[in-house]
Chains A and B, each alone.
Chain A
Amino acid sequence: MTALDRVRRTQRVLGATVIARSLMWGIAITSAMLGLSSFVDARGLSATIVVVSVLAGVVVAAAMLWQSRRFASVSRVALWIEEHVPTLHYSLVTALEQGQSPFTAGMDATIARHDISATTTRAVRRHLLPATAVLVIAVLLLYVSPSGVLGRSGAIAGMGRLGGAAGIPAGSRLDDIGVRITAPAYAGGRTTNLDDPSTVAGLTGSTIAIRGNGSADGLTATQPAPLRISPAGRGWSISLTMPAKPTAITLRDRSYERIIVLAPVADEPPKIALTSPRRDTTLRTPRLVVPLNANVSDDIGLTSGYFEYLITTGSGEIFKARTVNTPVVHFDGARSSTLSATLDLGSLKLGEGDVLSMRAIAQDGNTVSGPGIATSDTRTIRIARAGEYDSLAIEAAAPLPLDTSAVSQRMLIAMTEKLVAEQPKLSREELVKRATDIGNQEDGIRRRVQQILTEAEGAGEDVAEPKPGDQPATVEEMESPDVISGAKNPDLKAAYTALWQAVRSLKIAEPSPALPPMRVALAALDRARLANRLYLRGAPPKIVVNIERVRMTGKDKGSSSVRTPRSFADSARVDLSRRFYAMVDLLEKDPARALTELALMRVQALQMIPGFAAALGEVSDAIRAGRDATPALLRARRALEAPPEVRPLSQWSGG
């Protein structure tokens, strides 16, 4: 082997060493930068950081190569050997320069006696060992970084994306996911698509499909039970149904984690309001046609509705009840409608003391958790007993529009006056009809007066109390005032006589002559009413109000022990408050954990404090988008803590 061969061999070894060392340093620099960056921002490596890291590695590697460019020259390599093997005494350089010299053989022999390979190996080891150590440390740093870039190929994936490599993303496969929500069939099956959401809101029972990029291998999803992840084209997908209660799906891709909050929207049951009759009432006779009306609405759609009557008969402890339903009305998915029916009390054969309860019922088309059924308030119509007319205690109740049984003498006078005023414009038929109607009602009062009079005379058994369905008496059938004795109550007798005259005039359609006796009857009835009342005068009861007790100031004598305020009763809110402030502290130190905690808090808050949950969602969105989350955090705090209580000073407090 000539001297030139030895130098060329050394040059090849040194060249390879230089290239290897440069690459190792470049990779180490890139790895170290990626690792450190992931420590700083655990949300993941941005493309910028990846680019900068790679460029830094390339620059370092290139610089080292440039620095070792001398090994490209054979003479420089020979000088390097002479430098490391001083005992050659420049025989190698001389042999190369004086290749035609007769002393070349001697110089080759001298060179052959030196072990240049061993020297070269030591030099290679000296250069490569530090580079190898640095590379190992940098790779370890990358491996243990929060985002686990190396082992999970995150950084490499980033680089792959930069290089335009299509296919399986080497980074987190939990980014850029899409969610498709399909409402239940009964709600129209409408589909909604969400891009990269942190919260998925939809009707309970909706079908949710979550799709992401990359292979499904190694991905896990829990809710908290494990969910099946299926390959879908070049990505993966999860299919599930929106649960009834808020929950969170935890997706994991190697060390990546992502939480998606499921916020179910419950299908509200229908709302129904009975608009007619508006109030409970008590009738003296069950002769009334009651219009039934109800307004119905639903957030999704109504299917059907009907009215239900419950008729209770009996007294004391013995009651019988029967239920009657009106025909079902179908709404065909309308979101609002009205329910109407007419109830003729006469057809129900109600008796004294019977109670009729009525309500409206509607249902929606919820086939997932329903159907939602709504019932209106119940209205009650009670038929009074004869003996309780003077002692009925009735809550405020407006007479029904057709409740003619309660029309007073004063009202009949007003109706007659109106009829007289309109008489010139009325046809004969209309006049007869309206006058006869008033006359029939006046006749009812006449018969009641007659009953009272005959009872007072001890002949009550001869006159029957008007019964439901009784036909009004004709003029010929009316008992003449001459046969009614008024010895014990002359006022009532005068009223009866006047009523008799008024009824007679009204039933022959002569309202004008009926008015004077009607007024006389009213005055006589007033006199009789007052005359029958007894007011026993005496000292009224003296009631002393315990002012101290009313003002809750009387019994408290003070306490010997110091009172300490009790803990906040709303422990769940307190717990959320504690977690909220801990999460705020975490935002600076560990944003990834803070985001996870945010999602978990939202799940808990969705049912308890919806406003707080919504504000947490804004916080989460702001952080993910890199915006300032402070306003959203303030809103969340306000929603979590009760609003300040404003207590104006009483004008009596002197303030």
Chain B
Amino acid sequence: MMSEFVFCTGQYDSGDWDSAPVLPANIIDSIARYTSIAVAPSGVNIPLGSDAIFEYPFVYLTGHLPFRFSEAERRNARKLVDRGGMLFIDDHNHDVGGVFHNTAMEELTRSFSKPVDLPNDHDIYRCFFKFDDGPPTTSHELNGWGDNLVHKNLQAVMQGERIGVLYSSKDYSSEWNYDPDAKRFSTVDNTRFGVNIIVYALTR
């Protein structure tokens, strides 16, 4: 029997894992709006170090502060990816020289392997909506704060042909962190790429 998808935000001991509290609801709204995936109406926050994390095939991690896994978190993260799950880590600072980026890169290299640039014609950009130019640009990338750069690629730790860990410097955590009711004021829904990430995580 197929259970409904539950959006899971991973709690980690270091940093501010809850810096984008409205994002899960927004992505849940988009999944309900565009797909026929059975989806739970609210997300859950699960400690990455607990075994409960294995009930969720997709785990979202974000923050501004130094990013370090505890031993239990590192062990569970590896096990989750090995079992076919997917981690999505987004730099809420959108700053490639920032503390979150630097520490997250170190942690991912230590826990998995060094993330590599994900080609912009990867399946994740076509699995539901089509993004011909790769990851959609966020409004926070070029507004004079952060690293002032438009990041051409996402990065990933590959698990065979599949993405095990998806890493973003684009600050989708700021871009999508608004109440879903506000979508009706947008000409183009900027959370569509979030749907692609979920669809990819659930089908590959």
Contacts and interface: CB of A to CB of B under 8 A. Distances in A.
Interface stretch (B26-34, B78-86, B105-113): B26-34
A563 B147 CA distance: 58
B159 interface: no
Contacts of B18: 537, 540
Interface in A639-655: 650, 652-653
A520 to B, nearest CB: 14
A318 interface: no
Contacts of A537: 16, 18
B49 to A, nearest CB: 17
A398 B99 contact: no
B139 interface: yes
Contact of B97 (A410, A544, A546): A410
Contact of A530 (B29, B33, B65, B97): B65
Contact of A395 (B21, B33, B39, B139): B139
Residue in A411, A526, A543, A544 whose Cβ sees the most chain B Cβ within 10 Å: A543
Interface of B is mostly: loop
Given A410-B148, A411-B148, A653-B36, A396 B45 contact: no
Contacts of A542: 42
B141 interface: yes
B47 interface: no
B41 A408 contact: no
Contact of B35 (A406, A530, A544, A652): A652
Given A410-B148, A540-B21, A652-B35, A545 B41 contact: yes
Given A396-B138, A543-B22, A550 B33 contact: yes
Contacts, number: 82
Interface in B39-88: 39, 41-42, 45, 64-65
A550 B29 CA distance: 7
Residue among B37, B97, B144 having the largest count of chain A Cβ atoms under 10 Å: B144
Interface in A529-569: 530, 533, 535, 537, 540-547, 550-551
A394 B64 CA distance: 20
Nearest to A411: B148
A530 B142 contact: no
Interface string B143-164: 1100110000000000000000
A481 interface: no
Contacts of B25: 543-545
A600 B157 CA distance: 68
B115 interface: no
Contacts of A543: 21-22, 24-25, 42, 179-180
B120 interface: no
Given A396-B137, A540-B21, A652-B35, A545 B29 contact: yes
B141 A396 contact: yes
Q: How large is the interface on A (under 10, 10 to 19, 20 to 34, 35 or more residues)?
A: 20 to 34
A499 to B, nearest CB: 17
Contact of A650 (B36, B42, B99, B141): B36
Contacts of A411: 148
B114 to A, nearest CB: 22
Nearest to B180: A545
B141 A408 contact: no
A399 interface: yes
Interface residues on chain B, size class = 35 or more
Given A396-B139, A410-B97, A545-B29, A540 B144 contact: no
Contacts of A392: 143
A533 to B, nearest CB: 7
Secondary structure at the A interface, as helix, strand, loop or mixed, is loop
A476 B64 CA distance: 39
Nearest to A550: B32
A397 B65 contact: no
Interface string A389-421: 000101111110000001010110000000000
Contacts of B143: 392, 394-397
A535 B35 CA distance: 35
B181 to A, nearest CB: 10
Contact of B144 (A399, A545, A550): A399
Contact of B65 (A406, A535, A545, A653): A535
Given A396-B138, A396-B141, A406-B144, A547 B65 contact: no
Contact of A547 (B19, B41, B45, B144): B41
Interface in A281-320: 282
Nearest to A395: B139
Contacts of A550: 29, 32-33, 180
Contacts of B45: 540
A544 B43 CA distance: 8
Contact of B39 (A398, A541, A547): A547
Nearest to A403: B144
Contacts of A533: 64
Interface of A: 282, 392, 394-399, 406, 408, 410-411, 522, 526, 530, 533, 535, 537, 540-547, 550-551, 650, 652-653
Given A395-B139, A537-B18, A544-B25, 12 more contacts: A394-B144, A396-B141, A399-B144, A408-B148, A410-B97, A540-B45, A541-B22, A544-B41, A545-B180, A547-B28, A547-B41, A550-B33
Closest 7 CB pairs of A and B: A540-B21, A543-B25, A652-B36, A396-B139, A550-B32, A535-B16, A394-B143
26 contacts: A395-B139, A396-B138, A396-B141, A399-B144, A399-B148, A406-B144, A408-B148, A411-B148, A526-B99, A530-B64, A530-B99, A535-B16, A535-B64, A540-B9, A540-B18, A540-B45, A541-B21, A544-B25, A544-B42, A545-B25, A545-B32, A547-B39, A547-B41, A550-B29, A551-B33, A650-B35
